[in-house]
């Protein structure tokens, strides 16, 4: 796993090597083992490496030496990720006459480009973001993996284009304009992150998952195009009707086991994140079935001294069932609070998902023993694992048959419930449910997941910033994007929404930044193309059966896991923010959300923010999500912009 960065100019100027090296240095946590640069007229590429395969070779940037010798032009690659089918692709390339001298997926990707051009991305099963400079026609190929596991930022500068794995690397270039985009501030308040292709800075953007762009040096136009998308059979088709729950579970077992095994290829120590939930437990069970004689799988978990947030006992039960070499570390709340502000700012853009903290702690703990860890990410999005899918089952008839008057009554009644600070408490669920009822389907899920509605977000912004907002409502933006996909069935459309927004914009960003900050590579077998294809092909009723979430996964779990684990309900990887904000984080909140500070910065109106603070502290409202979303923004602003907004 690595970090990449670079710049391409429309003229033949020689890039500033010192600037490139500063950009590369910001990515050191992603690649602590080595660094490299490539500079040619009009282009510069930088790389930081975390050694996982071919430890002695495969240095980057990697140049195709035979092309250089034949024509004097360079074809050069910088690449972040892993291609799991690189051995298969390498055998095919050798048959086609390509000289492969390394045991490296980097070399396979480079030679694959020379054979197939940009279409090489369609052949890759992996997680990746890469930039490939072709000096023969002065083009830069940029690409990201199908589900968006690896990031790639872009930004226009005078006469040039920057790219990098992280926004902070581009910010090290003196020509990047760090001006906030008002629409993305609003998007952040609605989503708790900034969804692609948007970026918190107006001059920057993200290349979306499953997209590539061929950028010509002559004009630097970036025209992303999709090379893959989620694909679904027609609703009610025979292809779907024929698959039973048992068939689907058996097929999932085969595909998930194969996906997990190919992700175990590594020249460095490897383990598995084990929360005790269904997804990570299935991975441990399937890998244990095929482990070589006498070899024990390493599993990692963290626990907390607050029992409502602790899952370490469930993880230990699974570890015992499969005889893993299990490692668990318990953290007290003081330890969590002490690193919280620093961890939040590791994410390049404002990020309001507080579960980044336990994810960081788990990654740092695992990195003490391994360099690679498998995770269960993607299972909830692909197989309807969140409580919001149960809410959809209940909310759809309410939305369809009851008018706005009933929806408003439901919200008022929910508001009368006593406030609890427990993890995903009953009153929290009911109040979030009531907020979304009556909205279009993807919109209500966004409201259920997020902190603010678009109207609430607009009302928080200072009038001069709100006046600069564009005409597009963030919920309408979601609906249009989902409508442009091949999904027809409403449940399939929900899968598209969760994969393209919550998974790509929140979950995978959180895992990438938290793990790469400590030099740990994470791999997600559930996001293998074969597993994703199976999730898309099966009837939605095999994903959500009545109110039973992840029906096909539970069917497999009943055959593989201890009964108590197979029956477990979804439990978020959270921290007790509601209580912390009233206690140990109260001082931090007061500093970050002080009215005089908000007035000076000119982004948020002090009055509604102060009302939220007072209501939460008085126990009239559980405002943990909106308050933390605002605090996380302020921490980001303090760290990355220094509070001085251009």
Q: How far apart are CA 115 and CA 111, in angstroms?
A: 6
CA 88 to the chain's CA centroid: 28
Q: How far apart are CA 7 and CA 45, in angstroms?
A: 7
Q: Which of 2, 124, 499, 553 is catalytic?
A: 2
Whether 536 sits among the annotated catalytic residues: the reply is no
Taking a C-beta distance cutoff of 8 angstroms, is the pair 133, 118 a contact?
Answer: no
Rounded to whole angstroms, what are the CA distances from 191 to 295, 333, 351, 506, 632? 43, 27, 9, 9, 13
Q: How far apart are CA 82 and CA 149, in angstroms?
A: 10
Enclosing H/E stretch for 434: helix 426-436
The angle, 0 to 180 degrees and rounded to 10, between the axes of the packed helices 245-262 and 278-290 is 70
Q: How far apart are CA 380 and CA 378, in angstroms?
A: 6
* DSSP assignment letter at 507: I
Spatial CA neighbour of 166 closest among 155, 158, 181: 155
Q: Phi then psi for 33, rounded to 5 degrees? A: -90, -30
State the greatest distance between any 2 C-alpha atoms of the chain, in Å, as a whole number. Answer: 76
Burial of 460 (0-12, 13-18, 19+ CB in 10 A): buried
* DSSP assignment letter at 118: G
The angle, 0 to 180 degrees and rounded to 10, between the axes of the packed helices 387-401 and 441-449 is 130
Rounded to whole angstroms, what are the CA distances from 321 to 301, 373, 616? 15, 20, 43
Taking a C-beta distance cutoff of 8 angstroms, is the pair 574, 612 a contact?
Answer: no
The region, left, alpha or beta by phi > 0 then psi within -120 to 50, assigned to residue 438 is left
Rounded to whole angstroms, what are the CA distances from 64 to 40, 56, 77, 380, 542? 15, 18, 9, 41, 48
Please identify every residue annotated as catalytic. Answer: 2
């Amino acid at each position: 796993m690595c970090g990449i960065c670079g710049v391409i100019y429309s003229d033949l100027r020689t890039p500033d090597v010192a600037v490139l090296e500063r950009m590369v240095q910001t990515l050191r946590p992603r690649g602590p083992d080595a660094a490299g640069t490539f500079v040619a007229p009009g282009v510069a590429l930088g790389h930081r490496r975390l050694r996982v395969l071919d430890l002695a070779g495969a240095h980057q940037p990697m140049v195709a030496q035979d092309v250089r010798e034949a024509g004097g032009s360079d074809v050069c690659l910088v690449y972040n990720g892993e291609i799991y089918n690189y051995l298969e692709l390498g055998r095919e390339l050798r048959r086609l006459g390509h000289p492969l001298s390394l045991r490296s997926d980097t070399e396979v990707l480079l030679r694959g480009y020379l054979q197939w051009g940009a279409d090489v991305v369609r052949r890759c099963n992996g997680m990746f973001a890469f930039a490939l400079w072709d000096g023969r026609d002065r083009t830069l190929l940029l690409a990201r993996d199908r589900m968006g596991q690896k990031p790639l930022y872009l930004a226009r500068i005078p006469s040039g284009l920057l790219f990098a794995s992280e926004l902070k690397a581009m910010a090290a270039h003196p020509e990047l304009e760090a001006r906030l985009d008002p629409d993305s501030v609003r998007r952040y308040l609605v989503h708790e992150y900034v969804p692609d292709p948007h970026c918190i800075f107006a001059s920057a953007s993200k290349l979306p998952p499953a997209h590539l762009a061929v950028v010509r040096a002559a004009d630097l136009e970036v025209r992303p195009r999709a090379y893959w998308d989620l694909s679904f059979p027609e609703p009610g088709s025979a292809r779907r009707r024929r698959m039973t729950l048992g068939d689907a579970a058996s097929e999932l077992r085969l595909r998930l086991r194969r996906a997990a095994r190919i992700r175990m290829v590594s020249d460095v120590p490897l383990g598995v994140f084990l929360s005790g939930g269904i997804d990570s437990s299935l991975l441990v069970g399937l890998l244990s079935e095929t482990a070589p004689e006498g070899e024990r799988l390493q599993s990692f978990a963290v626990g907390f001294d607050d029992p409502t947030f602790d899952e370490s006992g469930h993880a230990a039960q699974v570890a015992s069932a499969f005889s893993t070499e299990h490692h668990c570390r318990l953290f007290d709340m003081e330890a969590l609070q002490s690193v919280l502000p620093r961890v939040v700012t590791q994410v390049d853009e404002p990020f309001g998902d507080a579960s980044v903290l336990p994810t960081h702690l788990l990654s740092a703990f695992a990195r003490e023993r391994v360099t690679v860890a498998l995770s269960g990410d993607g299972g909830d999005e692909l197989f309807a694992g969140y409580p919001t899918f149960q809410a959809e089952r209940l909310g759809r008839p309410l939305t369809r048959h009851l008018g706005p008057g009933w929806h408003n009554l439901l919200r008022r009644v929910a508001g009368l419930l006593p406030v609890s600070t427990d993890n995903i408490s009953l009153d929290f669920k009911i109040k979030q449910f009531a907020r979304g009822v009556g909205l279009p389907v993807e919109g209500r899920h966004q409201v259920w997941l997020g902190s603010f509605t678009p109207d609430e977000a607009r009302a928080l912004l200072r009038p001069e910033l709100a006046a600069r907002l564009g005409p597009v409502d963030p919920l309408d933006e979601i609906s249009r994007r989902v409508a442009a996909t091949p999904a027809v069935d409403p449940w399939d459309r929900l899968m598209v929404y969760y994969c393209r927004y919550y998974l790509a914009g929140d979950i995978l960003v959180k895992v990438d930044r938290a793990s790469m900050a400590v030099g740990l590579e994470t791999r997600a077998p559930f996001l293998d193309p074969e597993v994703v294809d199976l999730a898309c092909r099966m009837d939605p009723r095999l994903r959500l059966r009545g109110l039973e979430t992840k029906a096909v996964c539970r069917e497999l779990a009943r055959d593989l896991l201890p009964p108590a684990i197979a029956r477990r309900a979804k439990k978020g990887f959270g921290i007790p923010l509601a209580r912390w904000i009233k206690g140990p984080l109260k001082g931090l909140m007061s500093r970050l959300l002080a009215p005089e500070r908000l007035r000076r910065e000119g982004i948020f109106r002090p009055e509604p923010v102060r009302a939220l603070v007072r209501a939460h502290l008085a126990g009239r409202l559980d405002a943990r999500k909106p308050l933390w979303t605002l605090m996380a923004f302020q921490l980001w602003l303090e760290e990355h912009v220094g509070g001085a907004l251009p």
